[in-house]
Amino acid sequence: MPSEQIQWFPGHMAKTRRMISENLKNVDIVIEILDARIPYSSRNPEITRLTAEKPTLLLLNKASLADPRQNKRWQEIYTEGNTVCLLTDCITGEGINRMGPVIKEILAEKLRRYEEKGMHGRRVRAMVLGIPNVGKSSLINRICGNKKTKVENRPGVTLDKQWVSTGIGVDLLDMPGILWPKFEERRVGENLALTGAIRDGVLDIETLACVLCKRLRTLYPDELAARYKLGDMTDYEELSDYDLFCTIGKKRGFLISGGEINTERTAIMLLDEFRAAKIARITLDRFSKEEVRRA
């Protein structure tokens, strides 16, 4: 795998960065949505920098696709100071009902001051941020109970800010998804590509599938073996990631003339099955709280 940095920063993301700075004064709290499968890789350091002075509710979204044990670990890692972390999922509805009460708990002192000033019933205003394709629009629609924002399974759909009123006493300022200009850690860029936060095509799909094989053989060998009928994974220890990738294609019968592996079809299948949690509920990021703090 080449060692150069992955760069993907469409022009509208620079505009979003400016909009965040300009609108922070208009909100009480920031809701930052992360992908539970990559809790570290999907946390934009620029958002952390821009919103450092605001109370923050972190949501580990798509929790039903991620490893339950790792969900709990990351929730503990990210809950500290003026930041609270919840698990949410737009499919199962997990955590959605807890958002309103938790936001009011975080802002209890500020809301008390509003009451003392006679500002009874003042609605909380929250800015909703996150990387592309993390499920912001789906989550907002789930909170609202109807279709308020456009939803598509590809990055870069929401291109401008919009206010959304909800039934939980919170008005949401939905902002476009934003990445940062350069991924210093190649692993972060690869993880974003694996989950679809970076549009498919930025990285070669066969290369990306080999990266996935490398991650899975290390973190989830038993689940990988079971899904693709590989048997004992120790039999594959000497194989390169590419050879393991080809073995999976052969097991699935993805062959073309001459008995060669159809690598494109194999790569698409692997990525689709990972993203749909058909291999297992998988979390790719593994760090301690100390490592996250130092990052």
pTM of the model: 0.87
Q: What is the pLDDT averaged over residues 222-229?
A: 97
**Per-residue pLDDT reduced to its tens digit, 8-43:** 555 556 778 888 989 999 999 999 999 999 999 999
The interaxial angle of helices 263-275 and 186-195, nearest 10 deg, is 80
Predicted confidence at residue 177, as pLDDT, reads 84
**Per-residue pLDDT reduced to its tens digit, 174-224:** 988 888 766 678 899 899 999 998 877 778 999 999 999 999 999 999 999
d(CA 1, CA 203): 11
How many helices and strands in the chain, by DSSP H and E?
12, 6
Mean pLDDT of the chain: 88
Predicted confidence at residue 160, as pLDDT, reads 63
